[in-house]
Amino acid sequence: AVFMDMAASGGYYISIAADRVYAHPTSITGSIGVIFGLVNVKEGLDKIGIKDYSITSGDNKSIGSPTREMTEQQQKILQSIVDDLYQRFVTIVKAGRPDLSREQILKLADGRVYSANQAKSNGLVDDVGYFDEFVKATTSLPNYKGPKGVEKPKIVIYTRSSRELDNIYQASTAESPDLNRIIKQLVFPGSSARFYFLWTP
């Protein structure tokens, strides 16, 4: 795996499956941790007369709703999930970086990001350099097996693209207009809560 500019949190998570982890000199990585972002706007909505009348099957069905106060018990429920996912992240890092003890990883895994040199010093990456160097280093590994008759390895690059879809099969199933959904998007843009392996400054 080669980090270009950013490979923090989830980017670092998936890189652990690789035999070697490399980083460009200006790469940012680390951010070993889990975040569950929530915003509560109940007090503000109360002031303008907007009430949440959601009907649920249990006290915790609407846990994390931005329009309802969260109880201490609900906070504990969500924190327990974050903690569980965090321990899994640490276990994954330990499996991919066997030279680091779990205690060392826990010290590094407080959510902070690291520069490429810091990551190398702490054992989170194997080397710092440039893409062509790493391709050459990978093909020289004892266990590397390239396709017969092919001198250069196949390079796979993952990127996040904002360009238009290439075809209709890349699009999600179209949904009919729904007034409640439209209002929610207008009042609470991006409010769908999820657990993330993500660095979001």
Active site residue 54: no
For residue 165, is it within any domain?
no
Task: Confirm whether 167 is domain-assigned.
Answer: no
Q: For the chain, what is the domain count?
A: 1
pLDDT of 140 > 70? The answer is: yes
72 is in which domain, residue-wise?
2-159+173-187
Q: Is the pLDDT assigned to residue 164 strictly greater than 80?
A: no
7 located within any domain: yes
Residue 24 inside a domain? The answer is: yes
100 is a domain residue: yes
Whether pLDDT at 168 is above 50: no
Q: What is the pTM of this model?
A: 0.74
Would residue 9 show up in a list of annotated catalytic residues for this protein?
yes
Whether residue 122 is contained in a domain is answered as: yes
Express each pLDDT in 74-120 by its tens digit.
999 999 999 999 999 999 999 999 999 999 999 999 999 999 999 99
Nearest 5°: CA angle at 199, between 196 and 201? Answer: 125
Coil, strand, or helix at residue 179?
helix
Per annotation, catalytic residue among 54, 61, 121, 136: 61
Determine, yes or no, domain membership for 193.
no
User: How confident is the model at residue 160, as a pLDDT?
Assistant: 64
CATH number of the domain that residue 178 is part of: 3.90.226
Highest mean pLDDT among 21-25, 145-149, 189-193: 21-25
| Other Cβ atoms closer than 10 A to 18 | 13
Pick the catalytic residue: 9, 27, 31, 65? 9
How confident is the model over 123-134, as a mean pLDDT? 93
Distances (CA, A) of 36 to 76, 87, 124, 194, 201: 13, 15, 24, 6, 14
